[in-house]
Structure 1
Amino acid sequence: MPSSGERLREIVRVLAKYGFGHIYNTRVRSRKKEQDPKKLRQAFEELGPGFIKIGQILSTRRDILPLEYITELSKLQDEAPSFPFEEAKAIFVKEFGQKIEDVFERIDEKPLASASVSQVHRGKLYTGEEVILKVQRPDMETTLLQDIELFIRIVDRAPNIFKDFLVSPKEAFEEIRQTSKRELDFRNEANAILRFSELNKEVACVDVPKVFLSFNSKRVIVEEYIEGYKILDIESLNEAGYIREDIGEKLLLAFLSQVFKDGFFHGDPHPGNLIIKEGKIYFIDFGIMGQLSSENREHLNQLLKSIVMKDLDQLMNTLLKIGVQKKRIDRARFYEDLNYLVETYLTASFSSIQFGTLIADVLDVTRKHSISMPSEYTVLVRALTMLEGLITDLAPNLNVVQVAKGYLSESDNFKLFEPISSEKLLLNSVKFAKSMIELPLQVSKLFENLNNGRTKIKLDLVNMDDKWTGLNKMVNRVVFALIVSALIMSSALIIFATERTGTSLLGIIFFLGAGFLGLWLIISIIRSERL
């Protein structure tokens, strides 16, 4: 494995090759910024498995990256060249003190899959169970964490450059480092399988592979091999007599239960991680899981309710309560953006609304206003968007909105209307009556203050400091341009007056000075990109 210094130089060289040399002062930035997302993906691919994993994690974070980067980084394939089986055997011995041959009756040396973090082999235990052996790449943890650490150094060196497309860059990569550490420990995956199984034991249509805890460590996990139909193998499902709409409906209901009831859901439900076997939907690969605390579930409840009820004040206040504000918020503009979003969705056909896209667009609005949302919601958006796309391919005629609406209306975990007790109704009635009694007195005071000239109107000018600074710059440039014009005119008069006696040195100096100052003014305007 290369040293930290060698790897840093390699990263800088590859970034420069794809047009990001300005980050480390090795090249001038290209003006074709629209190509940056594609070139960043290509750079990550060339930098190897560590950066491919970083890119995949970034592609799930709509709260910190613009949509064009999310779209491009989502194209990163979780595939990598396989490593020798002898290395997998050596890791197994190191983790358990046993040879693979002593545990497995049969093991395929050719991997079923080889990804950026690990590779998977199919085998059979001496006890007769068909299993898969998942082994982490040699030195993967060291390599990945080193790459993240070096990228943090690069980000820290040029934070203003990354602010063009990344919100709170250093914080983002610090969070990615913690996420990667959790994912690189396969014991967390085993615990996720056990917890998911326990929470869904009453759901007849959902199951998970059995995990063999005797052969589970930080770098190795052994699970039951699930041999069934891939969920988008339409031809095989039809031949086996499955009804695709039924599968799609059960899958959606199971996921909604995971989110609203359990607060623990599969974070990567792509077609390769869902298998149909014996009338059940098997979820596999629990490397990415989403969690929602009871508080965040309640906030999600409030968000959906405020959107349905078109209560923009409640929507804005909930988002401000959930998120972390990075700078002063222009509440008027924030309100306008939310209003446009809600109007756009609620004027469309209700049956065509995709909840994943809706929540994703809400997160895009918060990102635009520098409000950082909890990462739990970004995992939910990714999973929900992925699931909606999968169900559309599986069962195009299934009305996803109707299924979701039916579940939410019957669920005790989602309440569109809060129950009103008789005590609460009585208390609010007393408050209303008291306000109505005081209303004439308040109106009388208002007119009295108007008549006596004591009424004051307060105007809150949002971002006035920025506007005032811009106005000052504009005035300064106008004055500067007038001075340059005066210099040109005065030098012309001097030269004209001394025409008979010879060339005036003072006039030429004025001309040159005016030309230099004029050129400087033009350059400053061009650099401000407000020509």
Structure 2
Amino acid sequence: MTHGRSFKVGQLMTLLVADVLTSRERIGVEHTELARRQRRARRIREVIEHLGPFWVKVGQILATRSDVVSDAVLAQLAGLQDSVHSEPFPVFEPVLRQQLGPRWAATFREIDTEAPLGSASLAQVYRVVLADGRDGVLKVMRPGTRERVYADMAYLRRGARLAGHAVPRIGSVLDVEATLQVIFDCMQPELDFTTEAKHMAQGRRMARDFKGIHIPEVYLATPEVLLQSTARGTALNQTDLSEFSARQRRRIGRDLLTFMYRGYFVERMFHADPHPGNIFVHPEHGATLIDWGMVGRIDRNLGSLGIMALTSLAQNDARGLASAWTEMGRATPFADLLGFQEDMTRLVPLITAAALEDLDFGVALTQVLRCAAQRGIRTSPMVGMLGKSITNIEGSVRLVAPELSALDVFEDALTDVMVELARDVLSREQAARRALELILAANSTFDQLRSTLRDLANRELTMRIGLLPGHGIGSDSNGILTRRVAPVVAGGLAVWGVRRLTGPPRSG
């Protein structure tokens, strides 16, 4: 890394650390301080754009973290785009030759090299006609991209660690390692198109139950070349929607929301950037989601808690939302859980009272994320990405069907989601897992019983009664009954589920 580039990276880290620290003070900011923050935010965006593709991705991820950066930086990063001037096609020919072999040109009947469909820092995209006559889209990585991005990743990791040591408070506000891992995971598919192709294959499987949702088919994928089918229609942000009937628009909007909800809570893999430029629409064909380079993945527990959070929000249940949200992250040593619950008691009615048909889940999650950070609750970085994805899809749906209620679609989709989750719980795999948990819990309980009997025999037994944290039935949900009874009950249900699935044993 050159000295000038190192200086720019150091400058960016300094600006971001300053913003992270001052972003905690959101109320009562003087006009001069507000102007200073806005200048710093503009400078952050300028430096990110100057540094290139990896840092643009860093900025896009930070744009999902309203709990970390200031409102001024959020506003600047929200419109951050990875777009550069196109390069002549001969720049990319060596990549095609290296990835597809010396006879790469035989794959195509025609390549529109004069007018690329898109040009970004990592790749350039062309419209092509394959040798068999099919239309396609060709995505070619820029030469040397991987080496530059991997070097930037290493530099960012070192810089973040130095910042964490210099300002320990940052470690309490932001899980630096987890956030960096989210950034690196998001970059990986864009550094290896075979990973993006796998995402598209999974997306196509997810879309099988939707007549109006489509994912491009991958014809060929190598680490640096991706060849796929074209998307019918035009990008949503360039579409003349007067050519669509009201019924067609509502169908597209409802399918998009339902597809995304299913991704969030059933498949636990979702398109992380469904903005209008990544959605093509056609009156008869429906919607096609392109650009699966950035996806989010959440585990079973986080998905279930996410359902609880959105359901609590929709039902004006502030206490339920506070509980689910706290479970999705962890409380720092200085957390104010009662204060967070009070915040939700004030915030949730304001979100749901105006008009339920105008409920915006994505914006609401962003507000909750911010309150949680201010009260010392560290939230998983993937929750920020989930909120950003929901915000994007709701914004896209409002373009195509502004009269559609996200709440109504969520309530309709929730029934199918719960059926799928129940089916998952009663599957043989989950039943076996619950049975195993029962066995482990039983072994632990027997060990504790043996220890208790030994203490009784030696007259050394001490009884603890009350609501002390970590003992008894504490309100922190960490008591012995909470830890032991729940697995036992789950195990019993698992055994019942296994018997239901397998039926009575067959006679000789």
TM-score between both structures, scaled by the size of structure 1: 0.68
1:173 Cα offset (Å): 3.0
* Alignment match, 2:45: 41
Question: Equivalents in 1 of 2:274, 2:265: separation in Å?
Answer: 17
1:107 Cα offset (Å): 1.0
Q: Deviations over 1:228-278 (max 9, x none)?
A: 233344536617897323322222222223333322222211112111244
* Alignment match, 1:181: 188
Question: Equivalents in 2 of 1:6, 1:233: separation in Å?
Answer: 39
* Alignment match, 2:395: 389
Aligned: 1:302 with 2:321 = no
Q: Match of 2:418, SS? A: coil
> Identity, % of aligned pairs?
24
* Alignment match, 1:119: 124
Aligned: 1:220 with 2:245 = no
- Aligned in 2, Cα 1:98/1:375: closer, same or farther, shift over 3 Å? farther
Aligned residues of 1:19 and 1:39 also touching (Cα < 8 A): no
Aligned: 1:96 with 2:100 = yes
- The amino acid that maps onto 1:185 is D
* Alignment match, 1:279: 285
Q: Summarize the alignment of residues 110-509 of structure 1 with structure 2, pairs less than 5 Å apart.
A: 110=114, 111-159=116-164, 160=166, 167-169=174-176, 171-212=178-219, 215-235=220-240, 238=243, 243-277=248-282, 278-409=284-415, 411-413=417-419
Aligned residues of 1:260 and 1:413 also touching (Cα < 8 A): no
- The amino acid that maps onto 2:74 is I
Q: Summarize the alignment of residues 22-61 of structure 1 with structure 2, pairs less than 5 Å apart.
A: 32-61=36-65
Q: Match of 1:245, SS? A: helix
Aligned residues of 1:276 and 1:282 also touching (Cα < 8 A): yes
Q: Match of 1:201, SS? A: helix
* Alignment match, 2:479: none
Query: How many residues were matched structurally?
Result: 408
Aligned residues of 2:124 and 2:140 also touching (Cα < 8 A): yes
Aligned residues of 2:275 and 2:395 also touching (Cα < 8 A): no
Q: Deviations over 1:439-469 (max 9, x none)?
A: xxxxxxxxxxxxxxxxx999xxxxxxxxxxx
Q: Match of 1:128, SS? A: coil
* Alignment match, 1:73: 77
* Alignment match, 2:463: none
Superposition RMSD in Å = 3.4
Structure 1 unaligned regions, length at least 5: 24-29, 416-455, 459-531
Q: Which has the larger radius of gyration?
A: 1
1:192 Cα offset (Å): 0.8
Structure 2 unaligned regions, length at least 5: 21-31, 422-465, 469-508
1:143 Cα offset (Å): 1.4
Question: Equivalents in 2 of 1:457, 1:168: separation in Å?
Answer: 31
Q: Deviations over 1:165-196 (max 9, x none)?
A: 97244553354234323432111110011111
Question: Equivalents in 2 of 1:114, 1:226: separation in Å?
Answer: 18
User: Which of 9, 12, 29 is equivalent to 1:11?
Assistant: 9
Q: Match of 1:200, SS? A: helix
1:131 Cα offset (Å): 0.9
TM-score between both structures, scaled by the size of structure 2: 0.71
- The amino acid that maps onto 1:151 is L
1:19 Cα offset (Å): 11
- The amino acid that maps onto 2:333 is K
1:279 Cα offset (Å): 2.2
Aligned: 1:86 with 2:93 = no
1:14 Cα offset (Å): 7.6
Question: Equivalents in 2 of 1:51, 1:365: separation in Å?
Answer: 27
Aligned residues of 1:162 and 1:169 also touching (Cα < 8 A): no
1:308 Cα offset (Å): 4.3
Question: Equivalents in 2 of 1:347, 1:293: separation in Å?
Answer: 32
1:65 Cα offset (Å): 3.0
Aligned residues of 2:111 and 2:126 also touching (Cα < 8 A): yes
Question: Equivalents in 2 of 1:348, 1:414: separation in Å?
Answer: 32
Question: Equivalents in 1 of 2:2, 2:184: separation in Å?
Answer: 17
- Aligned in 2, Cα 1:457/1:90: closer, same or farther, shift over 3 Å? closer
Aligned residues of 1:163 and 1:169 also touching (Cα < 8 A): no
Bigger shift: residues 258-267 or 107-116: 258-267
1:5 Cα offset (Å): 4.9
Aligned residues of 2:192 and 2:224 also touching (Cα < 8 A): yes
1:22 Cα offset (Å): 12
Question: Equivalents in 1 of 2:182, 2:382: separation in Å?
Answer: 12
Aligned residues of 1:92 and 1:100 also touching (Cα < 8 A): yes
1:298 Cα offset (Å): 1.3
Question: Equivalents in 1 of 2:122, 2:297: separation in Å?
Answer: 22
Question: Equivalents in 1 of 2:221, 2:467: separation in Å?
Answer: 69
> Higher relative contact order by CA 8 Å / sep ≥ 6: 1 or 2?
2
- Aligned in 2, Cα 1:126/1:162: closer, same or farther, shift over 3 Å? farther
